[in-house]
Amino acid sequence: MMDYDYGKCHVCGNWMEERLTDQSLQDEGEWVLIRSVPTGVCSRCGEQVFRGQVLERLERILQERKLRKPEVRIEVPVFAF
């Protein structure tokens, strides 16, 4: 992982640490799971933040996703609350 300083959590003031997280995003009515995203995570409250470069990469993945074959397709059960 990188040695990026995410600073302190804007919610609780604890220091943020970088972790690789899975992010689910909705694009054109379809859910997309992006694995191993470098994310600043607060170990106290769980708040997550992203560096600008990471957000740009996520956006690029969404824009190019119809041109690429996904690594894996999964089926997800959906329930009403």
Q: How confident is the model at residue 3 (pLDDT cuts 50, 70, 90)?
A: confident
* One-letter-per-residue 3-state SS of the chain: CCCCCCCECCCCCCEEEEEEEEEEEEECCEEEEEEEEEEEEECCCCCEECCHHHHHHHHHHHHHCCCCCCCCCCCCCCCCC
> Residue 1 above 70 pLDDT?
no
Q: What is the pLDDT of residues 44-76, one digit of tens each?
A: 999 999 999 999 999 999 999 989 999 999 988
> Residue 39 above 70 pLDDT?
yes
Q: What is the mean pLDDT of residues 20-37?
A: 94
- Tell me the whole-structure pTM to 2 decimals: 0.84
